[in-house]
Amino acid sequence: MGNSRRKFLKNVSGSVAALSLATNASAEEQTVKRTLLPTAKVAAVDKIRIGLIGSGIIGLIDTDAALKVDGVELGAVCDLYDGRLVRAKEKWSKDLFVTKDYRELLARKDIDAVLICTPDHWHQKMAIDAMNAGKHVYCEKPMVKRIEEGQAIIDTQKKTGKVLQVGSQRASSIAILEAKKYFEQGAIGELTYVEAYCDRTDAKGAWQYSIPTDASPQTIDFEAFLGNAPKIPFSAERFFRWRNYKEYGTGSAGDLIVHLLTGLHTITGAIGPTKIMALGEVNYWKDGRDAYDLVNSFMTYPEAKTHPSFQLYTRVNLASGEGKGGFGIKLIGTDGAIDIGWNDFKLKTLKRSVAPGFGGYDSFDSFSAQQKEEFTKWYKEKYGDAKGGFEMGKTIEFTPPKGYDDRVDHMISFFNGIRNGAPILEDATFGLRTAGPSIACNISSAQNKALNWDAVKMKLS
């Protein structure tokens, strides 16, 4: 990484390196706007029939994205609530096969791949069962509920040879992939610090989802929902708002920090931190939940071939009073910053003077008159007329085309992997390396101490 900045300035034409440095220009003159162009292409159109397991919010969204890929058909839907099975037939086909038992879906020979969009505590078992049944797997993030569950998924994927892709679409976002190019070219110099956040304001952003009026033990297989979680009486709130409870989900850390780490790891090639310290609490939504609605974490990443050592700060706040919510990853280097939104980003660069400058907020004013004269003479002999400080380069703003959906690009990656063996970036190993540190934030918060993470072995050390 040492000469990455020089390489960037030498090799990249028509970009930041070629833009003039002009600190006195207007803000408009200092900004260049560019539209990102999607590059994901469907490798083939061989028919692939998918089955959906978990037809809730993300299940519907993921399936709609999958069906936008040429050659993909929906063959079956599984959910534990009668109303969702009715809705599946209304939405996709009255002849659609539906079931409350995912094993019936896996037994169907006409299903090639499954989308697992269930509560987190079901991810591992369903993913392993699906691969062992000969199905490819798209598993929503986080890949596992507990860190120790991850290795079994990795082992099963290797044993069966089936494609497994984790469903954090940040790995396929055109903004993330374009930002990766600039990072690798050294546009921001040496990476020193990353800050990443996901803020929400309203009730739905804090998982206060609608509960149907017919929710009851007669319409919901609640015992199947519980699975290996503690047995309790029927609760519609726990079924439809499961993210609020530690028995079934991983809270804001597993739901949202994992998105932040997915983007960061994709851009930098990082495999994980070595130390994690987090603070979490139920700060605002005191509605009976035990999953944190506010988490702040600090992580340290060691030097690797693709990046220097750097520090990471993350925040998830489900009750932000700013009223705007938002998502962002900002990589701050020695020579600039990459500021990423959801599918957009800004690139800012600066150039420091080789001369330190003198005067102003400086010890120069404390010198005697004679010393000031001698120092000024020495400075001119050493630096000539060069002034200190820095100059800002033009900002480049990258925005996606209208209607762009990174989920579709992520689905294209998944189906290309099935069709022709195209590489899967967010495979089971990648999935554990983002889920593990995210889940560790909950553990660190509960234990009120820093944790050591082994990114190679993918476990707490």
Residue range 415-428, pLDDT digits in tens: 999 999 999 999 99
Predicted pLDDT at 20:
34
The mean pLDDT of 99-116, rounded to a whole number, is 98
Q: Which residue, 158, 252, 246, is CA-closest to 205?
A: 252
pLDDT(22) > 70: no
| CATH architecture label of 48-170 | 3-Layer(aba) Sandwich (3.40)
Does residue 411 register a pLDDT over 80? yes
Residue 164: band (very low, low, confident or very high) from pLDDT cuts 50, 70, 90: very high
Which pLDDT score is estimated for 1? Answer: 53
The rounded mean pLDDT for the chain is 93
With beta carbons less than 8 A apart as the criterion, state whether 31 and 397 touch. yes
Q: Is the pLDDT of residue 253 over 70?
A: yes
Residue ranges, CATH 3.30.360.10, the chain: 172-354+388-460
- In CATH, which of 3.40.50.880, 3.40.50.620, 3.40.50.720, 3.30.360.10 is domain 172-354+388-460? 3.30.360.10
Mean pLDDT of 437-455: 98
C-alpha 424: how far from chain center: 16
| 7 pLDDT higher than 80 | no
Q: What is the pLDDT of residue 29?
A: 59
Quote the percentage of the chain above a pLDDT of 70. 94
pLDDT of residue 9: 46
pLDDT digits (tens, 9 = 90+) for 259-315: 999 999 999 999 999 999 999 999 999 999 999 999 999 999 999 999 999 999 999
pTM of the model: 0.92
Q: What is the pLDDT of residue 43?
A: 83
Across 40-56, average pLDDT: 93
Q: What tens digit of pLDDT does each residue of 314-326 get?
A: 999 999 999 877 8
The span from the first CA to the last CA of the chain, in angstroms, equals 28
Sign of CA pseudo-dihedral 432, 434, 439, 440: positive
pLDDT value, residue 4: 53
Whether residue 201 contacts residue 288, with contact meaning beta carbons closer than 8 Å, is answered with no
Number of neighbouring beta carbons within 10 Å of residue 351: 14
Give the pLDDT score at 30.
Answer: 80
Query: Would you list the DSSP string of 339-384?
Result: EE-SS-EEEEEEEE-SS---SSSSGGGGS-HHHHHHHHHHHHHHHT
pLDDT one-digit tens code per residue, 361-387: 999 999 999 999 999 999 999 999 888
Where in the chain is CATH 3.40.50.720?
A: 48-170
pLDDT (average), residues 337-354? 95
- The residues that bridge with 300 in the sheet, in sequence order, are 275, 311
